[in-house]
Amino acid sequence: MNFFGYRGGHLFVEKVSIASIAESVGTPFFCYSSSSLEHQYLELKHALDPMGVRICYAVKANSNQAVIKTFANLGSGADIVSKGELIRALDAGITPDKIVFSGVGKTRDEIRHALEVGVGQFNIESPSELELISNIAQELKKTATVALRVNPDVDAQTHDKISTGRKADKFGIDIDLAPALYTQAAQMPGINMVGLALHIGSQLTSLTPFRDAFERIAILVQDLRAAGASVKRLDLGGGLGVTYTTENPPDIEDYAQTIRSTVSSLKVELTVEPGRFLVANAGILVARVLFIKNTPVQRFVIVDGAMNDFIRPTLYNAVHDVLTEKKDANCKLSSAQVVGPVCETGDILAKAANLPPIEPGALIAIASAGAYGAVMGSTYNTRLPTLEVMVREAMTAVIRPRPTYEDILSLDQLPNWL
């Protein structure tokens, strides 16, 4: 279901025109559809509820408080990877017992804080991390609930930079080494070993790697149990892909069926950690055309949004659709490169968009920018952080205002010798 579409030739989000938002808040800005977020969550919940699978939203995909709260209100838990994300999740109303603390490099301070607030589960990724958690838990006279993240050596068949389950990747404990560490962990003071976790990568468009990984971890559960260990929980990670342009990601019911056929008979409490699936297609990045520059080889559409606002095309060569605010079915489309003002050749939002004739002052939107958009933004070139808006039917709310230049400069301090 698409909550972005044209009415009378103009781009709308739900019942609000993009042009009217741009008029009131300026450009560039991210715009999220609240109904779309809700729709995605409920679709996933509907497919997974019969198996009792808990959804822990991977906050890293979009950590605006309004987005986290939208999911919290629907009953979601959270997958977090830092103290900052933990603070966000709690502040948005997610109770600690529904929070999973993932990540390969947790600091002493982060572990201490997570134990103090009582997070529901730590997914650990190395023997030294396990030891540190055990020590801090003892200091605090607490027990840490722990799952061991396994590296199942499965290629997720996605972009190299977002593949996490291959033997050579930094994530998880090698599946062959997992049984020994699990048994050892189960005896450590301050540790309550409850199960296993995995996450093999992001933007998976085939179920095969999921199935391979789930089958491998199911065997591991059986082996551990045969050796006398207790395995009560299984965290299957995130990774479900979405359609950006022509991708054909798995149907959500088929994803659920893959879970059913591989691990549901193990009688474990199941969790998933989706990020992108819940938010990617619920957001767009709106920018205004500054100039058109025609060169002998290219039509450049120079806009006021840039790689600091949205880095996916630069970082992963990601291809996102470009929508024009005005749509006229009679206009001829031709190739254009949509670029920003940042002083790097890689500052490209769309390498080969198919656009109608377009003039300075017009608005364009980068589609499917709700996941890993605003959260990966920076102030490179001393550009201001991107404003964010959420729309619900006819209501519009700024959910992150644009800071001022004074705000940005106030973060710096001069040394006393200058």
What is the contact mask toward ligand LLP in residues 259 to 278, using x (rule: CB under 6 A)?
--------------xxxxx-
Q: Which is nearer to ligand LLP, 258 or 324 (CB)?
A: 258
**Residues sharing a CB contact under 8 Å with residue 322, sequence separation 6 or more, in sequence order:** 338, 349, 350, 353, 355, 364, 365, 366, 367
Largest interatomic CA distance in the chain? 71
Q: How far apart are CA 154 and CA 404, in angstroms?
A: 46
Contact code string over 15-54 relative to ligand LLP, x by CB under 6 A = ----------------------------------------
Q: How many residues bind ligand LLP (CB under 6 A)?
A: 21
Looking at residues 360 to 379 of the shown chain, list those that interact with ligand LLP (rule: CB under 6 A): 372
Residue 140 or 252 with smaller CB distance to ligand LLP: 252
CA-wise closest residue to 377 among 245, 294, 290, 285 = 285
| Residue 203 within binding range of ligand LLP, rule CB under 6 A | yes
Of 202 and 396, CB closest to ligand LLP: 202
C-alpha 102/C-alpha 93 separation (Å) is 19
Residues 6+ apart with CB under 8 A from 251: none
Kindly state whether residue 121 participates in binding ligand LLP, applying the rule CB under 6 A.
no
- Using an 8 Å Cβ cutoff, are 106 and 154 in contact? no
Q: Nearest approach, Cβ of 395 to ligand LLP (angstroms)?
A: 27
Closest CB to ligand LLP among residues 14, 79: 79
Q: Rounded CA gap, 299 and 361, in Å?
A: 16
Q: Is 331 a catalytic residue?
A: no
Which region, judged by CB under 6 A, interacts with ligand LLP, from 28-36, 131-139, 233-241, 388-396?
A: 233-241
Separation CA 73–CA 90 (nearest Å)? 12
Query: CA 77 to CA 58: how far, in whole Å?
Result: 9
Contact residues for ligand LLP (CB under 6 A)?
58, 60-61, 79, 102, 162, 199, 202-203, 237-240, 273-277, 312, 316, 372
Q: Which residues are catalytic?
A: 343
